[in-house]
Chains A and B, each alone.
Chain A
Amino acid sequence: MKELRLMKGNEALAEAAIRAGTDAYFGYPITPQSEIIEYLMHENPYERTGMVVLQAESEVAAINMVYGAAACGKRTMTSSSSPGISLKQEGLSYIAGAELPCIVVNIVRGGPGLGTIQPSQSDYFQAVKGGGHGDYKLIVLAPATVQETVDFVKLGYELAFKYRNTVMILSDGIIGQMMEKVELFEQMPRENKDYEWATVGKKPGKDSVIVTSLYLKSEDQEKLNFRLQAKYREIEKAEVRFETIMTEDAEYLFTAFGSCARITRKAMEMARAKGIKVGLVRPISLYPFPVKIFEELAPKVKGILTVEMNAGQMVEDVRLAVNGKTKVEHYGRFGGIIPSPEEILNALEQKIIGG
Chain B
Amino acid sequence: MSENLIKPENLVYKKTNVLTDKVMHYCPGCGHGTAHRMLAEVIDELGIQEQTIGVAPVGCSVLAYYYFDVDMQEAAHGRATAVATGIKRVFPEKYVFTYQGDGDLAAIGTAETIHACNRGENILIVFINNGIYGMTGGQMAPTTLPGMKSSTSPRGRDVATMGNPLKITEIIATLPGSYYVTRQSVHTPGNARKAKRALKKAMEYQKENKGTCLVEIVSNCPSGWKMTPVESNKWMEENMFPFYPLGDIKVPQ
Report A's interface with B, CB cutoff 8 A.
Answer: 23-24, 26, 52, 54, 56-58, 60-62, 64-72, 74, 76, 90-91, 94, 98, 199-204, 208-214
**Contact call A26/B86, Cβ cutoff below 8 A:** yes
Q: How far is the CA of A210 from the CA of B75 in the complex (A)?
A: 11
Rounded to whole angstroms, the CA-CA distance of A203 and B56 in the bound complex is 20
CA distance A24 to B89 in the complex (A): 8
Closest to B68 in A: A208
Residues A58 and B50 in contact in the complex (CB < 8 Å), given A91-B76, A202-B71, A210-B65? no
**Chain B nearest CB: distance from A209 CB in Å?**
5
Total contacts A-B at CB 8 Å: 128
| A58 / chain B contacts, CB cutoff of 8 Å | 111
Q: Are A64 and B82 in contact (CB under 8 A)?
A: yes
Q: Are B79 and A214 in contact (CB under 8 A)?
A: no
Give the complex CA separation of A94 and B55 in angstroms. Answer: 14
Report chain B residues within 8 Å CB of A52. 89-90
Q: Find the B residue at minimum CB distance from A200.
A: B71
A residues less than 8 Å from B52 (CB atoms): 201-202
A201 and B86 contact, Cβ closer than 8 Å, known pairs A91-B79, A208-B71: no
Bound form: Cα–Cα A52–B70 in Å: 25
B residues apposed to A, CB below 8 Å: 49-53, 55-56, 62-63, 65-66, 68-76, 79, 82-87, 89-91, 94, 111-112, 115
- Whether the Cβ atoms of A202 and B70 lie closer than 8 Å is yes
Instruction: Collect the chain A residues with CB atoms within 8 Å of residue B90's CB.
Output: 23-24, 52, 69, 72, 74, 76
Closest Cβ of chain A to B165, distance in Å, is 24
Chain B residues within an 8 Å CB radius of A94:
75-76
The interface residues of chain A lying within 8 Å CB-to-CB of B86 are: 24, 26, 64-72, 76
Known: A68-B83, A91-B76. A199 touches B89 (CB 8 A): no
Q: Are A71 and B112 in contact (CB under 8 A)?
A: no
Q: How far is the CB of A191 from chain B (nearest CB, A)?
A: 12
Whether the pair B72, A61 counts as a contact (CB closer than 8 A) is: no
17 A-B residue pairings within 8 Å (CB atoms): A24-B86, A52-B90, A60-B111, A62-B82, A66-B86, A71-B73, A72-B87, A72-B91, A74-B90, A98-B74, A199-B71, A201-B50, A201-B51, A210-B73, A212-B74, A213-B74, A214-B74
Q: Which residue in chain B gives the minimum CB-CB distance to A94?
A: B76
Docked complex Cα distance between A71 and B76 (Å): 13
In angstroms, how far is the closest chain B Cβ from the Cβ of A66?
Answer: 6
- Measured between beta carbons, the chain A residues less than 8 angstroms from B50 are 201-204
**B179 shortest CB reach to chain A, Å:** 19
Residue of B nearest to A90 (CB): B76
When the two chains form their complex, are residues A65 and B72 in contact, meaning their CB atoms are under 8 A apart? Answer: no
CA distance A200 to B93 in the complex (A): 11
A69–B115 alpha-carbon span in the complex (Å): 18
What's the nearest-Cβ distance from chain A to residue B90, in Å?
Answer: 5
Asked whether B82 lies within 8 Å of A60 as measured between CB atoms, the reply is: yes
| Nearest opposing residue in chain B for A207, CB measure | B69
A contact residues around B72 at 8 Å (CB): 199, 208-211
Q: Closest chain B residue to A57 by CB distance?
A: B115
Given contacts A24-B90, A72-B87, A201-B53, contact A61 B82 (CB under 8 A): yes
